[in-house]
């Protein structure tokens, strides 16, 4: 398990979640070293449309591509998943 500082407190990446990320989003493996920066100083933070305790932290990795790290914020903040995207989720109304 690894812990990262974030704007909302320390966030954990468990071994199980890391395996999940690399299994379902193998392209993220190339950007694993960017997790700490993305979590500490994200370019954009969005709240999930489906769960108000879930935040998506985005860091630009090229002109149009972002690393997105999805975190659950509660008594124990942890990473749910991470993926690459070309779109930033819109803020819920």
3-state secondary structure the chain: CEEEEECCEEEEECHHHHHHHHHHCHHHHHHHHHHHHHHHCCCEEEECCCCCCEEEEEEECCCCCEEEEEEECCCCCEEEEEEEECCCCCCCC
Report yes or no on 48 lying in a domain.
Answer: yes
Whether residue 29 is contained in a domain is answered as yes
Q: Collapse the DSSP code of 61 into the 3-class scheme (helix H, G, I; strand E, B; otherwise coil) and give the result.
A: coil
- Which structural domain range is residue 62 located in? 2-85
For residue 93, the model assigns a pLDDT of 52
Q: Which spans in 1-91 are helix H?
A: 15-24, 35-40
Q: Profile the chain (93 residues) by mean pLDDT over runs of 10 residues.
A: 95 97 97 97 94 95 95 94 92 59
Please give the pLDDT value at position 92.
56
Domain count along the chain: 1
Q: Can you give the CATH number for the domain in which 24 is found?
A: 3.30.2310
pLDDT of residue 75: 87
Q: Are the C-beta atoms of residues 29 and 43 closer than 8 Å to each other?
A: no
């Amino acid at each position: 398990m690894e812990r990262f500082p974030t704007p909302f407190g320390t966030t954990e990446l468990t071994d199980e979640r890391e395996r999940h990320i690399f299994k379902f989003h193998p392209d993220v493996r190339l950007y694993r070293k960017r997790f700490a920066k993305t979590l500490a100083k994200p370019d954009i933070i969005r709240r999930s449309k489906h769960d108000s305790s879930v935040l998506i932290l985005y860091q630009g990795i090229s002109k149009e591509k972002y690393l997105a790290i999805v975190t659950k914020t509660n008594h124990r903040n942890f990473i749910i998943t991470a993926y690459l995207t070309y779109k930033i989720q819109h803020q819920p109304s």
